[in-house]
């Protein structure tokens, strides 16, 4: 991949989210330096997806602040924010009735206002970068899950985001398709894009993350380097979690 990357730092300050009486995020603080990768791990229901959704304001927090590149974006235009912060979901979220190429072209035209020709050129370049140039005319259903996820990543990258969020991007994939997607994500990390990755892939977290944050019951209970978190977990909850997943 060749396109130069402009990445930003992310900071969450004392983020609270409630759904009715349930407080799902209970004061989350997280700093992700520009160009670094933070993996978020933790049990189901601990608030990982909600935290990630707060970073591009698909979820609006009840209180707290969100800083991108050191500036608060908590009250800014959410669409402008989402151009800067790309997100990749577990279930790809591609347009099923459109070609692979159009899945990338349409948002480039509507969000970035590119001409049809320019959008197609960017889309073809991005598809080639994820090894799928030959899939441009097909519907997503004609591709494997791993290929569909790579299209979703290409679509997000086409917006030239400064930060990318991955929410269990490989959880829906057949085991043999996981590595291709993780390798692509690792490539983005090594190119210096800022990544926040919710994952159950502890091998990825160990080898790619600069920092690992462990969430439980709406809080980041423990955070550190992969060595600290995996080799010397301090809290009993993290010790218990690791004994279940490793």
Note the residues at the interface with Mg ion (CB under 5 A). Answer: 48-49
State both tokens at 172.
């829906």
Residue (23 or 160) nearer to Mg ion, CB? 23
Out of 32, 48, 123, 129, the only residue in the binding site for ligand ADP (CB under 6 A) is 48
CB of 24 to ligand ADP, least distance (A): 4
Out of 14, 45, 80, 231, the only residue in the binding site for ligand ADP (CB under 6 A) is 45
- Any contact of residue 24 with ligand ADP (CB under 6 A)? yes
CB of 76 to ligand ADP, least distance (A): 23
Site string for ligand ADP, 197-226 (x = CB under 6 A): ------------------------------
Out of 8, 36, 37, 46, the only residue in the binding site for ligand ADP (CB under 6 A) is 46
Residue 61, contacted partner among ligand ADP, Mg ion, none, CB below 5-8 A by kind: none
∠209-2-198 over CA atoms, to 5°? 25
Residue (125 or 171) nearer to ligand ADP, CB? 171
Residue 99, contacted partner among ligand ADP, Mg ion, none, CB below 5-8 A by kind: none
- Any contact of residue 50 with ligand ADP (CB under 6 A)? yes
Residue (8 or 199) nearer to Mg ion, CB? 199
Helix pair angle (100-112, 116-129), 10° resolution? 130
Out of 36, 37, 49, 56, the only residue in the binding site for ligand ADP (CB under 6 A) is 49
CB distance 104 to 158 below 8 Å: yes
Instruction: Considering only CA atoms, give the Rg of the chain.
Output: 18
Residue (99 or 149) nearer to Mg ion, CB? 149
Region of 29-37, 42-50, 73-81, 158-166 interacting with ligand ADP (CB under 6 A):
42-50
CB of 14 to Mg ion, least distance (A): 21
Residue (17 or 184) nearer to ligand ADP, CB? 17
Tell me the C-alpha distance between 171 and 160, whole Å. Answer: 25
* Phi, psi for 148 (deg, rounded to 5): -60, -40
Which residues here bind ligand ADP, judged by CB under 6 A? 19, 24, 42, 44-50
């Amino acid at each position: 991949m060749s396109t130069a990357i402009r990445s930003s730092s992310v900071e969450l300050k004392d983020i609270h989210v409630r759904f009715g009486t349930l407080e799902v995020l209970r004061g989350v603080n997280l700093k992700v330096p520009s160009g670094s990768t933070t993996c978020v791990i933790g049990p189901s229901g601990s608030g990982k997806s909600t935290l990630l959704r707060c970073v591009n304001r698909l979820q609006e927090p009840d209180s707290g602040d969100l800083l991108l590149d050191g500036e608060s974006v908590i009250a800014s235009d959410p669409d402008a924010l989402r151009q800067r912060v790309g997100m990749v979901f577990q279930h790809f979220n591609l347009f099923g009735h459109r070609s692979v190429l159009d899945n990338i072209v349409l948002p480039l035209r509507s969000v970035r206002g590119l001409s049809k020709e320019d959008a197609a050129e960017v889309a073809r370049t991005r598809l080639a970068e994820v090894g799928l140039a030959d899939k441009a005319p097909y519907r997503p259903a004609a591709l494997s899950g791993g290929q569909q996820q790579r299209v979703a990543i290409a679509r997000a990258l086409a917006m030239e985001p400064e930060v990318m969020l991955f929410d269990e991007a490989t959880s829906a994939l057949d085991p043999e398709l996981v590595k291709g997607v993780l390798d692509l994500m690792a490539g983005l990390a090594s190119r210096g894009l800022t990544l926040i990755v919710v994952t159950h892939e502890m091998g990825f977290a160990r080898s790619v993350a600069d920092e690992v944050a462990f969430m439980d019951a709406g809080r980041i209970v423990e955070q550190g380097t992969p060595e600290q978190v995996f080799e010397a977990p301090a809290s009993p909850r993290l010790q218990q979690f690791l004994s279940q997943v490793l």
